[in-house]
Amino acid sequence: MTLMHLANCVALTFVPPWMIYKYKLQEFATTPQCVQAGFWYATIQLLQLILTATFVPSGDPNSFDVAQESMKAFITFADCLGLYYTFSARKLALGAAVVIGLSWGTAESVLHRLVPLAVEARGLQFTWKHTLTSVEANISLGTYMALAVLMWLWVRKPAQRTSIIIVIILQRFIVPVTTSFLRNSAFVETPAIAVAAEAAMMGTFAFLALKMSSS
C-alpha cells in the first residue's frame, strides 16, 4: 500500500508535465533544451537561496510572519529576471516560452518535492500530505507556465507592460503571502483549503496570461 501511494504521488507530480510536453509542446523545443532550461532554473534558485539566507531573518517555518513572507516573495522576483534574460537573449516563439515555463515548473518539483516524496510517502501511515504536495506541484507548474508567458509578453509587447507588471506583482507577491497566511495561520488544520485557494489564484493568472497573449 505504501509503495502504491508513493507511485501515485510521483505519477501525479511528474506525469502531467511529461504529457503536456509530449502531446502539446514537443514541436517547440527538444528534450536537451528543456533540461538546459531546468538547469537555468536551478541556478536562479541557488541565487534566491543565497539572498534568502543573507537577508531574511530565521523564524518558525510553521508560523506566519508578514515581514518575513514579504521578503521571501520579493526575492522570488529573481525568477522574472531569469526569464527576462532568457527571452531577451533569444527570439523565441510563444510555444517555446511555454515550454520554458513547463521546464521550470518540472525542475521545481524535482528540486523541492522528489526527495520528500521518495522518503516520506513510503511511511507506514497513510496521509493526505503527500497527495496535496503532488497537487501543489501541478499548481506550481501552471504558475511557472503563466509567468513565462507574461515575461515573454513583457519583452515582445511593450505596449502591454503596465497591465503585465500588475499581474506579475500579484502573482509573485500577493499569492505566496496569502497562501502562507492560509496555510500557517488561518487554516493550519485544513491545508487543503490553502491549496484550493492557491489553485484558484493560479487559474486566474493563467487565464489573464492567455487573454493577454491572444490580444
pLDDT in tens, 3-52: 787 888 889 999 999 999 999 999 999 999 999 999 999 999 999 999 99
Provide the 8-state DSSP code for 65: -
Lowest mean pLDDT among 92-106, 135-149, 176-190, 201-215: 176-190
State how far the Cα of 88 lies from the Cα of 184, in Å rounded to an integer.
Answer: 38
Give yes or no for residue 125 having a pLDDT over 70. Answer: no
Give yes or no for residue 121 having a pLDDT over 70. Answer: no
Provide the 8-state DSSP code for 30: -
State how far the Cα of 87 lies from the Cα of 22, in Å rounded to an integer.
Answer: 23
Lowest mean pLDDT among 76-85, 95-104, 142-151, 187-196: 187-196
All three cell numbers of 91: 527570439
Q: Are 100 and 79 in contact (CB under 8 A)?
A: no
pTM confidence score: 0.93
Query: Considering just the CA atoms, what is the radius of gyration of the chain in Å?
Result: 17
Mean pLDDT of 126-146: 90
State how far the Cα of 144 lies from the Cα of 141, in Å rounded to an integer.
Answer: 5
